[in-house]
A and B are shown apart, each in its own frame.
Chain A
């Protein structure tokens, strides 16, 4: 098996552990001028784009992820029309995971400014288990040395922006319309 394919396979396994609800829909697909390592759907039906950063160019990968997200967002509806079976909700938009072993302070600050709802940094580490290589993926903590309470966007200063965080959509709540109606009337 070719090395990139092997790495992609390990990344896929790592992603499954990182986010069990994430379903990979396509690998190595053409995005805006360049190829995207993975495109998937999370448990809420949101399109998830996964990019592997080149060493030392994590900041560039974040910018690329932002551009590719903007490229993909208006296309989700079309994909859904072409393939209704895809577990995608066009209303949920697009988020990106940028994968690298390490992220510099500038990359973390940039991701923090964009917001975790749109871009998350994922640290990778090779792990050896019984001779079979695995990639261990963990979400990187954003920010450098700021106290937790000062970090945005979950701690916004203003009142207009919602800081509510969830990776779930209404479909994840498992309530049918009849149950919702009964709860409302109750």
Chain B
């Protein structure tokens, strides 16, 4: 097999244009672009750390060139969880909706997905904060949970609670596909073990396979980011938390770009 880059040069650049590279293929017209995939996440109103991870994940997805929006209910005082609504760093967007039930939240999320999809040249995702109390209405907006991401810490109590959520979701939304990101592990091995334990139980008792979306670090930089409202990746580009966000964003975008999603 030829292993000289000269053999494949023409494959990457037009030869008739000399050193000038070929123009990129034009993106499809806006009207033909599909809505972005919607990812539901469960976050309580006091879950500051997970909200920070979610927002920072959106910023990282935007940094990787994709569209990223976070949709969340505007219930009560949202200032503890989120920055100011609207476009944030690198184009990541926070949309607060006045939906007061799950069906309303789903409508808002899919509207944002359609709108963002029309202008997103390189794909992206819409991340939705679902208050855990609204899970009881899951059957009313089952499509919202077609792709659900759970942030789970490796503690046994959290694994138990996450399994309970998975069980409730699977029962109410048979099409729900569940992904898990382990946050705050002390080692990669601990994260893997926690994921495997949850995945094994879910497979055995719910006949569902969990997708892994890596691990996130909630270190001092994340806490500082919450306080300063500056994304971790921008304030501390070389921090462990940043590397972890890059990794998780990559897995999410990989699945979001899969043909089956298109």
Q: Which residues of A contact B (CB under 8 A)?
A: 2-4, 6-8, 10, 19-21, 28, 34-37, 43, 52-55, 57, 60-61, 64, 100-101, 116, 124-128, 131, 133-136, 138-139, 141-149, 151, 154-157, 159, 162-170, 172-175, 180, 183-184
Distance from A127 Cβ to chain B, minimum over Cβ atoms (Å): 5
Of B95-103, B164-172, B191-199, the stretch lying at the interface with chain A is B191-199
- Whether A173 touches B6, Cβ cut-off 8 Å, given contacts A147-B260, A162-B192, A164-B196, is no
A154 to chain B: which residues have CB within 8 Å? 211-212
Whether B134 sits at the interface, judged by CB under 8 Å, is no
Q: Which residues of B contact A (CB under 8 A)?
A: 1-9, 11-14, 19-25, 177, 185-189, 191-192, 195-196, 199-200, 203-204, 209-215, 217, 219, 239-241, 243-244, 246-247, 250-251, 253-255, 257-261
Q: What are 16 A-B interface contacts by the 8 Å CB criterion?
A: A6-B19, A8-B5, A43-B247, A138-B257, A139-B250, A139-B253, A149-B209, A151-B258, A156-B209, A157-B209, A163-B209, A164-B192, A170-B189, A172-B243, A172-B244, A175-B240
Give Cα A100–Cα B241 distance, bound, in whole angstroms.
32
A116 to chain B: which residues have CB within 8 Å? 254
Contact B257 A141 (CB under 8 A): yes
Give Cα A126–Cα B17 distance, bound, in whole angstroms.
13
B12 to chain A: which residues have CB within 8 Å? 7, 10, 101, 124, 126, 135
Give Cα A120–Cα B185 distance, bound, in whole angstroms.
26
Give Cα A175–Cα B2 distance, bound, in whole angstroms.
45
Give Cα A161–Cα B253 distance, bound, in whole angstroms.
23
Contact B185 A173 (CB under 8 A): yes
Contact A170 B196 (CB under 8 A): no
